[in-house]
Chain A
């Protein structure tokens, strides 16, 4: 039987491979470019979310504020939460995953490059869809975890809110699709595309944490997707899944949401933990202390995170038995988290610490996360949580772990890998100013929230009267928020300034440990001229240094790579692409085209089902074009 010559009839002709111009970015399937796209887009949303925060703080600086009215405030705080979680921390983590996973495991790209691009575009379109609500009748205003039945209400008191929460439900479903698809992609990449010799326990901790995150996404997102669909049906079909008067149960929403919501917070923190686990060894010049334990703790957190969801619901009336069970499970999830912290400190201990911005932010991460973690443990003391929940004390907790934790960790990663991505090092001095201003501003902003919470200030109030004792710390907090804003401006200046004036990085500016530092900065499109063969954890470090009998470092005379080729010629053949040259996936219009279909379907669900058909056709057309277009020309 003759091999059929595949006559390809792509729907659109293939874009010409090019590295210049807007179209090259729109049609790219290169994981590094997609990572950069994720990073810049997420940062843009960070600025918007930050502006929303400043508005909130301006409104709450004084009692009976008049910066925002109640309706505006409700939309701003809801969008602030949605933005920071779904449009900043998750995509910023995705930026790192996309850029670094192939490089750190020694692959040339992810398993499904076009699917990767599709994830990005769906994320962007989902975020734009969500924000378009401001111009189309009003943004979501039910809080980021949208409790029912408020989220089903179309008229609140005397004010109609026709579509605000439609944007919430549909927007999050679209964003969920982006994340699910990306998670499948990256999970397969990590499982299947590691360099020769890189067993699971020779993977960097960042890759482990990334892997756990992908699995958490894959299993948690469907649950919230169901929750969101049921919400959408209650809103547009008139069902009563969450309406008590018609046989439904509002608490069902909470269970479904938090079953996703709790793994979600581990999705938000594990990337930063992975980043910090890479930076600390490099800047301490000694290995991560207790690598297997740190990895196993991450896995434990991944599993245990499924068993604590109702700690968000202690005051909902689940009863003492349920509350007790979740109190205990919540307390015990603190154990693997604490273990990691001790291992990080032990990594620093006895090291030779170079206080460049990556290390500063990493230490800031540890310091702030400890505070957030401790306040979290106090939440698990259920009778006390009956007081704390829904007050600023909880707002303090999650900002310490999400900002002090995730954001600081992500900034550490930005400073660390910026040279690899852009070829230039961010300015050290400005970076240190950024760090200190951000650290101090952060604590000035969120430290007082503990006090305000203990003084009985509830969450999500657009104003407060003057005789509650809350005036002083609210004002202090607002001042802090502007310090944070200043620090972000410093960072942006640093980034812009380093384009022309940043020190040229070279392959390995930090004398690092993992294999992405073996290639050029920035890496070539194919990542590695020669896929490295991995013999140990921190393989690159061991090419540069060996340990003598007393555990002291001895630099290796250069020439490690050629020795490799002599000792393991077959693995190196394979690493060279088996002698067939390097095939890279070709750019494509299909991901962005298919992605465009989704928000259009979304608008159709709100404004007219015929629009859904248009969106559906675009989606289907894009998918078919994609399926019949070969991955590589």
Chain B
């Protein structure tokens, strides 16, 4: 009886993968297309600056690299959080969850700061369709990161109230999956948007 979770139905699934985990994978598949479409639009319009400010006039690769590194590290802390709950360590779980959330928030702050610089230099949502594509793409990503942060903080809160026992480690795993996905999307964006030099 101790094994039986009272609240969660333990189903025997046809594939052996839990329903929620499978659902997260299917959902992430859908998100691939979402970001694929947004990235495609960006790639189409990246040079349509109409003579105004261009991204590669205003960006700061070193700064964005640090930001990206921060996000990358947050994936590491996410893994550590999952390891913690899987071995029943609530304290470390909370530490690493909070760290992940804080790193995520740092990333978002970095984005916001970066964007204010861009806007100040004339590269805005309205300055050109290149600007619009850039900001829409990165904002959608930022929104996804924010939702992830909310989920991380919720997990943190659940843990403090004793609502995230070891048996519920999978909840952390799903949020982790989502978080890693969002990180990978950023790597793709960073590469395609910032690192690949635009033609003259």
Hey, which bits of chain A sit against chain B, CB under 8 A? 1, 3-4, 6-8, 111-112, 180, 183-185, 187-188, 191-194, 198, 218-223, 225-227, 229-230, 233, 237-241, 246-249, 252, 256, 259, 574, 578, 580, 583, 624, 627-628, 630-632
Residue interface bits B21-49, CB-to-A below 8 A is 1, else 0 = 01100110111011011100100110011
The count of residues in chain B whose C-beta lies closer than 8 Å to any C-beta of chain A is: 46
**Nearest residue in A to B171 (C-beta to C-beta)?**
A627
B163 at the interface (CB under 8 A from A): yes
Contact flag A226-B38 (CB < 8 Å), given A3-B2, A252-B44, A627-B154: yes
Contact between A229 and B136 (Cβ–Cβ < 8 Å)?
A: yes
Choose from A8, A111, A222 the contact partner of B30 (Cβ within 8 Å): A222
Bound Cα distance from A223 to B188, whole angstroms: 18
Contact between A226 and B12 (Cβ–Cβ < 8 Å)?
A: no
Contact between B50 and A226 (Cβ–Cβ < 8 Å)?
A: no
B9 at the interface (CB under 8 A from A): yes
Contact between A188 and B26 (Cβ–Cβ < 8 Å)?
A: yes
- Chain A contacts of B8 at CB under 8 A? 630-631
- Chain A contacts of B13 at CB under 8 A? 192-193
Contact between A188 and B30 (Cβ–Cβ < 8 Å)?
A: no
Contact between A247 and B125 (Cβ–Cβ < 8 Å)?
A: no
Choose from B14, B29, B33, B128 the contact partner of A193 (Cβ within 8 Å): B14
Contact flag A631-B45 (CB < 8 Å), given A241-B132, A241-B133: no
Contact between B37 and A256 (Cβ–Cβ < 8 Å)?
A: yes
B110 at the interface (CB under 8 A from A): no
Contact flag A222-B33 (CB < 8 Å), given A3-B165, A192-B15, A631-B7: yes
B86 at the interface (CB under 8 A from A): no
Contact between A225 and B34 (Cβ–Cβ < 8 Å)?
A: yes
Contact between B34 and A222 (Cβ–Cβ < 8 Å)?
A: yes
Contact between A239 and B129 (Cβ–Cβ < 8 Å)?
A: yes
Q: From residue A531, how far is it (CB to closest CB) to chain B in Å?
A: 10
Contact between B154 and A239 (Cβ–Cβ < 8 Å)?
A: no
Q: From residue B41, how far is it (CB to closest CB) to chain A in Å?
A: 7
Contact between A248 and B162 (Cβ–Cβ < 8 Å)?
A: no
**Nearest residue in B to A629 (C-beta to C-beta)?**
B7
Bound Cα distance from A631 to B19, whole angstroms: 13
Choose from B11, B14, B45, B132 the contact partner of A233 (Cβ within 8 Å): B132
Bound Cα distance from A446 to B17, whole angstroms: 48
Bound Cα distance from A237 to B132, whole angstroms: 10
Bound Cα distance from A237 to B131, whole angstroms: 13
User: Which of B22, B129, B133 is the most central at the interface, judged by chain A CB atoms within 10 Å of its CB?
Assistant: B129
Contact between A240 and B129 (Cβ–Cβ < 8 Å)?
A: yes
**Nearest residue in B to A620 (C-beta to C-beta)?**
B150
Contact between B30 and A180 (Cβ–Cβ < 8 Å)?
A: yes
**Nearest residue in A to B151 (C-beta to C-beta)?**
A627
**Nearest residue in A to B33 (C-beta to C-beta)?**
A222
- Chain B contacts of A191 at CB under 8 A? 14-15, 22
- Chain B contacts of A583 at CB under 8 A? 9
Contact between B9 and A223 (Cβ–Cβ < 8 Å)?
A: no
- Chain A contacts of B38 at CB under 8 A? 226
Closest 6 CB pairs of A and B: A222-B34, A247-B48, A226-B37, A630-B7, A222-B33, A192-B13
Contact between B26 and A187 (Cβ–Cβ < 8 Å)?
A: yes
Hey, which bits of chain B sit against chain A, CB under 8 A? 2, 4, 6-9, 11-15, 17, 19, 22-23, 26-27, 29-31, 33-34, 36-38, 41, 44-45, 48-50, 88, 125-126, 128-130, 132-133, 136, 154, 162-163, 165-167
Contact between B6 and A6 (Cβ–Cβ < 8 Å)?
A: yes
Choose from A112, A221, A247, A624 the contact partner of B130 (Cβ within 8 Å): A247
Bound Cα distance from A194 to B161, whole angstroms: 36
Contact flag A111-B23 (CB < 8 Å), given A1-B88, A247-B50: yes
Contact flag A632-B9 (CB < 8 Å), given A188-B23, A192-B14: yes
Choose from B15, B36, B41, B88 the contact partner of A252 (Cβ within 8 Å): B41
Contact between A188 and B2 (Cβ–Cβ < 8 Å)?
A: no
Contact between B126 and A239 (Cβ–Cβ < 8 Å)?
A: yes
**Nearest residue in A to B9 (C-beta to C-beta)?**
A583
Contact between A226 and B34 (Cβ–Cβ < 8 Å)?
A: yes
**Nearest residue in A to B34 (C-beta to C-beta)?**
A222
- Chain A contacts of B30 at CB under 8 A? 180, 183-184, 218-219, 221-222
Choose from B14, B15, B41, B125 the contact partner of A226 (Cβ within 8 Å): B41
Contact between B19 and A188 (Cβ–Cβ < 8 Å)?
A: yes
Bound Cα distance from A7 to B11, whole angstroms: 23
Bound Cα distance from A184 to B22, whole angstroms: 9
Contact between A192 and B34 (Cβ–Cβ < 8 Å)?
A: no
- Chain B contacts of A628 at CB under 8 A? 163
* Beyond known contacts A3-B2, A4-B163: 6 more, CB 8 A cutoff: A184-B23, A188-B23, A191-B22, A218-B29, A222-B37, A574-B12
Bound Cα distance from A185 to B19, whole angstroms: 9
- Chain A contacts of B6 at CB under 8 A? 6
Contact between A8 and B7 (Cβ–Cβ < 8 Å)?
A: yes
Bound Cα distance from A229 to B130, whole angstroms: 16
Bound Cα distance from A194 to B13, whole angstroms: 8
- Chain A contacts of B17 at CB under 8 A? 192
Bound Cα distance from A96 to B2, whole angstroms: 39
User: Which of A184, A229, A574, A632 is the most central at the interface, judged by chain B CB atoms within 10 Å of its CB?
Assistant: A184
- Chain B contacts of A192 at CB under 8 A? 11, 13-15, 17, 19, 22
- Chain A contacts of B15 at CB under 8 A? 191-192
- Chain B contacts of A229 at CB under 8 A? 136
- Chain A contacts of B34 at CB under 8 A? 222-223, 225-226
Contact between B132 and A184 (Cβ–Cβ < 8 Å)?
A: no
Choose from B26, B33, B128 the contact partner of A247 (Cβ within 8 Å): B128
- Chain A contacts of B4 at CB under 8 A? 580
Bound Cα distance from A191 to B163, whole angstroms: 30
Bound Cα distance from A89 to B26, whole angstroms: 24
Contact flag A223-B37 (CB < 8 Å), given A191-B22, A233-B136: yes
Bound Cα distance from A249 to B30, whole angstroms: 25
- A sample of 7 cross-chain residue pairs with beta-carbon separation below 8 angstroms, ordered by A number, consists of A184-B23, A188-B22, A191-B15, A226-B34, A241-B41, A246-B50, A624-B154
Q: From residue A99, how far is it (CB to closest CB) to chain B in Å?
A: 20
Bound Cα distance from A580 to B9, whole angstroms: 11
Q: From residue B32, how far is it (CB to closest CB) to chain A in Å?
A: 8
- Chain B contacts of A247 at CB under 8 A? 45, 48-50, 128-130
Contact flag A237-B9 (CB < 8 Å), given A188-B22, A247-B48: no
